[in-house]
Amino acid sequence: MEPRREHDIGPYKRHELLTGTIYYPALGYSGYGDGTSTHIADFVTHEMRLDWLANRDRLLEFWKSGEPISKFFPDSKPWLLDRGDPDSLPWAEQVFGDGGAVASD
C-alpha cells in the first residue's frame, strides 16, 4: 500500500489524526470511521499509520503554529478542529510518532 500525500487524506482523516476524535456529519464523511463507532481505537490500522507518516511533517507544522487550519489546508471544515496547540502533541504523534520532531527542524 502506497503512503498517501497530504492533500489526499482530506479534512476528516486529518482531524482524526490530529485529535483522535471522530465526528460524523450528516453527509460527506470521508474519515477512518464506519459511521457508527466514535471510538478511534476501533479504526487504528496500518493504513492510518501510513497516512500519518506520509503527512506528519505538514500536520506537525500546522499543529505547532497555533494558526487557523484553513491557512494550511484550504479544504478544512469549519465544524472540525480550528487550531493546533503548540504546547501539546497531536493524537497520532502520541500513538505513532517520535515525540514531535519535524524533519526540517
Instruction: List the chain pLDDT tens, one digit each, 105 residues.
Output: 555 554 579 999 999 999 999 999 989 999 999 999 999 999 999 999 999 999 999 999 999 999 999 999 999 999 998 899 999 999 999 999 866 555 444
**Separation CA 23–CA 38 (nearest Å):** 7
Which grid coordinates belong to 48?
A: 492510518
**Separation CA 60–CA 56 (nearest Å):** 6
CA–CA–CA angle 98, 30, 11 (5° rounding): 55
* Other CB atoms within 10 Å distance of the CB of residue 70: 13
pLDDT at 97: 80
**pTM of the entire predicted model:** 0.85
